[in-house]
């Protein structure tokens, strides 16, 4: 139910099919229903329990901390975030929680070294909301309280979690001046590799930045080539489609395109094409007496294909984590650390594939 009394003349928020929420003024109340004249000229009738009061004291540009709002309900929160977003203010606090809105554009001026220095040691909330403030307060708390700390990052897949975490890690690296104090076991580089490799979103600048980052952490040119081979192999592997074979419950690559992806995968992984096809289309059972090979139907072969792709990704990820951790010289005797946990998000898809599972 609405937490405050709504009367005729009240300024309220009401649900709108096009705008999610739209503001208006109550013109009539009949029982549990209210008639509202909206700002877009419509007259709508809605239950009193489904409308929310509008904060008339909220500034047009929004507030930087939403605990300052008179009403912390859904339309009030969304309106505040929208008002700030339109001013390129992508960060907003709700107490000690930082809400970030993906700007879908580069804003280098808010992530430069000058900005980092401004937030270094500044009391939380004294400056405008920023991811650097969260990183700094976590680091200061670890130093002052002599105990480990953690930062939780939550958002839908593709919302911008990875760039946000990258900014925090870079900032904590700088303010600590000792990489060994920071442990990040998140597959940031791997996600970047997949995005860079997918046609349509290729970015030469990001690719070169990724290669430079690999150089910095001590990944040799030969190892880098191997990494890109495995990433490309995983992508090609996912494009192999199977059809029914001549034998009962057997499967084969569906067409020439599937064979192309099979051959390319084998070439990238430096393995025999026939051996790879058998590994995908057949199941091997080893007994003390003999080795039994059983053909798989197309559906089972697809499951086998996906299992191989996930295993390849997992092994490469583990190798990268070990390589990076060895490079930054994590002290095994360190007493404290800051853990950055990216809580994955699932969307309402008919089938969840690589994107939300990575």
Reported as a single tens digit per residue, the pLDDT across 55-95 is 999 999 999 999 999 999 999 999 999 999 999 999 999 99
pLDDT at 355 over 60: no
Question: Which spans in the chain are helix H?
Answer: 74-85, 113-119, 131-145, 161-176, 188-197, 204-216, 221-237, 256-269, 273-281, 298-328, 354-357
The model's confidence at residue 183, banded by pLDDT at 50, 70 and 90, is very low
What is the pTM for the complete model shown? 0.65
pLDDT at 43 over 90: yes
Domain annotation for the chain: domains and CATH numbers: 11-53 (2.30.30.360), 66-209+335-357 (3.40.850.10), 221-325 (1.20.120.720)
Closest CA to 143 of 338, 342, 339: 338
pLDDT at 48 over 90: yes
Quote the longest CA-to-CA distance of the chain.
Answer: 87
Name all contacts of 249-254 with Cβ < 8 Å and 24+ positions apart: 249/295, 249/296, 249/297, 250/281, 250/295, 250/296, 250/297, 251/281, 251/295, 251/296, 251/297, 251/298, 251/300, 251/301, 252/277, 252/281, 253/277
| pLDDT average, residue stretch 32-53 | 94
Reported as a single tens digit per residue, the pLDDT across 267-277 is 999 999 999 99
CA 25 remoteness from chain centre: 39
Helix or strand or coil: residue 22? strand
> What percent of the chain has a predicted confidence (pLDDT) above 70?
84
Residue 202: predicted pLDDT: 53
The model's confidence at residue 184, banded by pLDDT at 50, 70 and 90, is very low
| pLDDT average, residue stretch 135-139 | 91
Lowest mean pLDDT among 67-71, 173-177, 352-356: 352-356
The model's confidence at residue 212, banded by pLDDT at 50, 70 and 90, is confident
The model's confidence at residue 207, banded by pLDDT at 50, 70 and 90, is confident
């Amino acid at each position: 139910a609405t937490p405050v009394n709504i009367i005729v003349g009240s300024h309220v928020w009401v649900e709108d099919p096009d705008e999610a929420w739209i503001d208006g003024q109550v013109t009539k109340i009949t029982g549990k229903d209210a008639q509202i004249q909206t700002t877009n000229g419509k007259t709508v009738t809605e239950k009193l329990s489904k409308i929310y009061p509008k904060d008339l004291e909220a500034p047009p540009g929004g507030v930087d901390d939403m605990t300052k709002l008179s009403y912390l309900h859904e339309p009030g929160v969304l309106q505040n975030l929208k008002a700030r977003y339109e001013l390129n203010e992508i960060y907003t606090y709700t107490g000690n929680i930082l809400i970030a809105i993906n700007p879908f554009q580069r804003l280098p001026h808010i992530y430069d070294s000058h900005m980092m220095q401004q937030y270094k040691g500044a009391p939380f909330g004294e400056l405008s909301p920023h991811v650097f403030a969260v990183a700094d307060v976590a680091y200061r708390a670890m130093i002052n309280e002599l105990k480990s700390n953690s930062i939780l990052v939550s958002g839908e897949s593709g919302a911008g979690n990875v760039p946000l975490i990258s900014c925090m890690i870079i900032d904590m690296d700088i303010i600590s001046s000792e990489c060994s104090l920071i442990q990040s076991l998140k597959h940031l580089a791997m996600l970047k590799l997949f995005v860079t490799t997918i046609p349509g979103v290729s970015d030469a600048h990001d690719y070169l930045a990724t290669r430079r980052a690999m150089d910095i952490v001590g990944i040799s040119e030969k190892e880098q080539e191997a990494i890109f081979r495995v990433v490309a192999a995983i992508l090609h592997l996912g494009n192999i489609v199977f059809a029914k074979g001549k034998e009962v419950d057997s499967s084969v690559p569906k067409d020439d395109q599937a064979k192309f992806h099979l051959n390319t995968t084998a070439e990238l992984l430096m393995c025999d094409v026939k051996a790879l096809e058998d590994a995908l289309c057949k199941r091997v059972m080893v007994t003390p007496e003999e080795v039994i090979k059983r053909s798989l139907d197309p559906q089972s072969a697809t499951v086998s294909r996906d299992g191989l792709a996930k295993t390849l990704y997992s092994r490469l990820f583990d190798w990268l984590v070990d390589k990076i951790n060895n490079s930054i010289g994590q002290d095994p005797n360190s007493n404290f650390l800051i853990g950055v946990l990216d809580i994955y998000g699932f969307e309402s898809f008919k089938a969840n594939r690589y994107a939300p599972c990575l």
